[in-house]
Structure 1
Amino acid sequence: MGIFDKIKEKLSHEFIDIIEWLDYTDDTIVHRFERYQNEIKNGAQLIVREGQTAVFINEGQLADVFKPGTYTLNTQNLPILATLKGWKYGFNSPFKAEVYFVNTHLFTDEKWGTKNPITLNDDRFGLVEIRAFGTYAFKINDAGKFIVDIVGTDANFTNFEINEHLKSLISTRFTDTIGEANLPIELYAANTTELSETCQDVMQPEFNSVGISLEKFYIENVSMPEELKKEIFEYSRIDKLDLDKLTKFKTAKAIEAAAANEGGTAGAGMGMGMGFVLAQQMGGMMNPMTGQQNAAVPQQNVPVTPPPMPIQVQYFYASNGQQAGPVTMDQLKVLFANRTINKDSLIWKQGMANWTALKDIEELKSFLGGNTPPPLPGA
């Protein structure tokens, strides 16, 4: 080999380009490899590291895509680019193309949340508002599609630029999903794992449509107004308690509150009077026979026998497909106030041929409010 051949070989090796990207950031998704006039020399070395994909763009068209590895660029390694440029018998150095490196590692701990409250219609509590927030993780699974559909000509595309789009998509699909779930309001916070998995399945196709894979999706918290929380807790406790025991407990608390009233002689007398009446009522509920016996004992020096105690009507009601009761009208009113039953709940008492909706039973229509007396005779 002559001296000129050695010089030529040495210079040819010095002119071989090395195309690579070393990522020193935590948020860059796409980086465009900058070359003077986008010229790449024949035989250039392309180095694609793990967690990267290299995409060649020719005059705005997607050409070749390279996964991790080391490549010597020629017509064999650039079949699509060779076709686009019309290289039938190889190409002469240099050639022009844009090279984009796409970060394909997992982007974790991305935040999402509902910007505005979500309104739901619950069967027991009516219209309610909830909020939710959590995290998600994604990665690029189709670098070419992502470059074409999202990045365009951006030379340095970060996850901040895509996060707003993804969070809006998540919020919209989350709202649709929980609306269709139609769960009782108190179960949303208790079923975040199942809801997270369902939401991920619903969102995955839309992420895939732009070359992104939704790898993880977590609902960390579902929140609601404090007033609604208290109402749900109260409803839950009442639903678990025996209604008769609850009534006795409420009566005892009322007696205790009346006894504690020390607002002067008049106030104390009123409190004692109320306490005495409530004590009689509670005693009658706890032991009806004792109440009747006490009522039968005449007061001193007053030889008057009171009439017998009226017999309270006992009602049965249907709750969650099950028969419950019997309860008195007052207890039935408490059940109605606490939304255990409603105007359409089925009620039965002795003497009725069939179960009937509460709203159609004359003596119970007062529960619904708005009752007005008939006009006076001759008016």
Structure 2
Amino acid sequence: MGIFDEIKKKLSHEFIDIIEWLDNTNDTIVHRFERYQNEIKNGAQLVVREGQMAVFINEGQLADVFSPGTYTLNTQNLPILATLKGWKYGFNSPFKAEVYFVNTRLFTDEKWGTKNPVTLNDDRFGFVEVRAFGTYAFKIEDAGMFIKDVVGTDSHFTNYEINEHLKSLISTRFTDTIGEANLPIELYAANTNELSDTCLEVMKPEFSSVGISLEKFFIENVSMPEELKKEIFEYSRLNKLDLDKLTKFKAAKAIEVAAANESGAAGAGMGMGMGFAMAQQMGGMFNQQTQTTTQAAGNGAMPPPLPTQTQYFYAVNGQQAGPVTYEALSGLFAAKTIAADTLVWKQGMANWSALSSVPELQSLLGSVPPPLPNN
């Protein structure tokens, strides 16, 4: 082989390009293969590795898309680009086109969360606010669509750039989904798996519309204000505890807290007022029992049966509660669980009436002292 043949062979090898992308990052989704003036030689080698797609763009128009493999670029494997360029019988080297490599691997452990509280309308607790956060996983499903609709001319498109858009989309669809679920508020935290599956199905079409496949979606936590948590816990216990015993316990605790409050005269006065109310009720019951026993002993006869206590129903948060005895109702009033305008009913009453309008209950109103006069 002569020297000119060697030079010719060497020059022919120099004209053959190798187009490939070795990803050394963890967050790159799209990388544009940079060439001088975007020139590609006839017969160039295109290497697309596993977890990649290669997309050719001609003057802003989507052309050919290549899956993993090694290709020799010519008119046979560039049919769309050949049509756009008007190549009928082959093309002259070099030609211009932009080549984008798209990372199609699974991007996992992506974080999402509600930026603002989500307002829900619960039948028992009214309007409540909840927050939620979790993780999701996605991958590029349609590389051409993704570049055309999302990436545009960005030469180095990262995970961070798409995440902001995806998190906003997730937050919006999550809000709609839990609002339409219409579950009791305490069940949201207990049914995160079911809600996660539902949200995944709702959000998949939104992701697919821009060439992304939402593979996994998890709700890790649904949180609510501490005050609401306490109400929910107390409400759940009401279904398992004896209401009469519970109200007596709450009344006793309220008296204990008020009596121990040394922050001012108002707290002491309230504690004394509730203490006097309970003392009067207990004293009246003791006196009545003593008189009955004395009369029975004087007459030498057995005492009559104890009178049946009146049972009262009352309304709290639009729900009927009870029945409870007068003493239990007094304890509820002292603990401020009910008030003077609370609706009550007993057997014999035609309609529900405010507590303050029932004659035998008006004595409860005096169990709380009036405000101290101004000096």
- Shared fold per TM-score greater than 0.5: yes
Q: Is the 8 A contact 2:48 2:69 kept in 1?
A: yes
**Aligned-pair distance for 1:269?**
9.6
**Aligned-pair distance for 1:28?**
0.7
Residues 1:181 and 2:172 aligned together: no
SS in 1 for 2:353: helix
User: Which string of whole-angstrom CA distances, capped at 9 and with x for unpartnered residues, describes residues 100-140 of structure 1?
Assistant: 00001111111111111111111111111111111111110
Q: Is the 8 A contact 2:259 2:272 kept in 1?
A: no
Residues 1:365 and 2:365 aligned together: no
Residues 1:147 and 2:143 aligned together: no
User: Which string of whole-angstrom CA distances, capped at 9 and with x for unpartnered residues, describes residues 181-203 of structure 1?
Assistant: 11111111111111111111111
Distance 1:269 1:159 in 2: 65
User: Which string of whole-angstrom CA distances, capped at 9 and with x for unpartnered residues, describes residues 120-170 of structure 1?
Assistant: 111111111111111111110000000000001110001111111111111
Amino acid paired to 1:127: F
Distance 2:113 2:180 in 1: 19
TM-score, length basis structure 2: 0.77
Distance 1:166 1:125 in 2: 32
Distance 1:293 1:84 in 2: 105
**Aligned-pair distance for 1:327?**
4.4
Distance 2:257 2:2 in 1: 114
SS in 1 for 2:134: strand
Report how many residues are paired: 337
Q: Is the 8 A contact 2:248 2:328 kept in 1?
A: no
Distance 1:215 1:110 in 2: 11
**Equivalence for 2:34:** 34
Amino acid paired to 2:159: N
SS in 2 for 1:297: helix
**Equivalence for 1:376:** none
Distance 2:261 2:199 in 1: 55
User: Which string of whole-angstrom CA distances, capped at 9 and with x for unpartnered residues, describes residues 298-351 of structure 1?
Assistant: 49xx99xx9997644446899xxxx9975447768969x979xxx99xx99766
Amino acid paired to 2:202: V
**Which segment is superposed worse, 137-146 or 117-126?**
117-126
Q: How does 1:187-206 map to 2 (within 5 A)?
A: 187-206=187-206
**Aligned-pair distance for 1:270?**
8.4
**Equivalence for 2:223:** 223
Distance 1:22 1:254 in 2: 71
Amino acid paired to 2:214: L
Distance 1:307 1:259, change over 3 A: farther
Identity, in percent, stands at: 77
Residues 1:62 and 2:58 aligned together: no
Q: Is the 8 A contact 1:43 1:74 kept in 2?
A: yes
**Equivalence for 2:293:** 297
Question: Which stretches in structure 2 are left out of the alignment for 5+ residues?
Answer: 358-375
**Aligned-pair distance for 1:14?**
2.7
Q: How does 1:44-193 map to 2 (within 5 A)?
A: 44-193=44-193
Distance 1:259 1:113 in 2: 45
**Aligned-pair distance for 1:8?**
2.5
**Aligned-pair distance for 1:37?**
0.8
SS in 1 for 2:234: helix
User: Which string of whole-angstrom CA distances, capped at 9 and with x for unpartnered residues, describes residues 271-307 of structure 1?
Assistant: 98666445468xx7xxxxx9975451249xx99xx99
SS in 2 for 1:244: helix
Distance 1:269 1:158, change over 3 A: closer
SS in 1 for 2:93: coil
Amino acid paired to 2:354: S
Amino acid paired to 2:235: Y
Distance 2:356 2:277 in 1: 28
**Aligned-pair distance for 1:18?**
0.3
Distance 2:258 2:248 in 1: 15
**Aligned-pair distance for 1:46?**
0.4
**Aligned-pair distance for 1:250?**
3.9
Question: Which stretches in structure 1 are left out of the alignment for 5+ residues?
Answer: 285-289, 353-360, 370-379
Distance 1:36 1:258 in 2: 83
Distance 2:220 2:176 in 1: 18
Distance 1:142 1:367, change over 3 A: farther
Distance 1:173 1:338 in 2: 39
Distance 1:329 1:90, change over 3 A: farther
Q: How does 1:17-28 map to 2 (within 5 A)?
A: 17-28=17-28
**Which segment is superposed worse, 143-152 or 267-276?**
267-276
Q: Is the 8 A contact 2:53 2:67 kept in 1?
A: yes
Distance 2:337 2:226 in 1: 18
